[in-house]
Amino acid sequence: MFFSMAEAKKGVARIQIPPKVAKTHEVEARLDAPQLQGSHAADSSGVQMLMSKAVSARRDPLIVPLVGLLLAFSVISLIVQMLIAFS
């Protein structure tokens, strides 16, 4: 005979995370210094230059509704063509 023995429920697994140590400005500067030296300096400056000259383009407020209407009419046209073809 099998007796139903309930297993003990396990709690939620918790992972202990060590507390964060506040970094001082000197530590951050020392960590950033190797990135500014060598061949990476040219790459990062180029990226910064490209990102700084980004122009925020204003979109015409009628573009989105007009595209929505175009899509709706194309779907309706497709349905009408299917009805005509299979009738």
Distances (CA, A) of 50 to 21, 28, 41, 47: 35, 25, 14, 5
Q: Whole-model pTM?
A: 0.35
**Is residue 77 packed enough to be buried (19+ CB in 10 Å), middle (13-18) or exposed (0-12)?**
exposed
Give me the DSSP letters along 14-68.
Answer: ----PPPPPPPHHHHHHHHHHHHSTTHHHHHHHHHHHHHT---PPPPTTHHHHHH
Nearest partner of 34 among 44, 25, 24, judged by Cα: 44
pLDDT, residue 53, reads 65
- pLDDT tens per residue, range 26-67: 655 555 555 555 555 555 666 666 666 666 677 788 999 999
Q: Could you tell me the residue ranges of all domains in the chain? A: 25-85
Structure confidence by residue, pLDDT tens digits, 63-84: 999 999 999 999 999 999 999 9
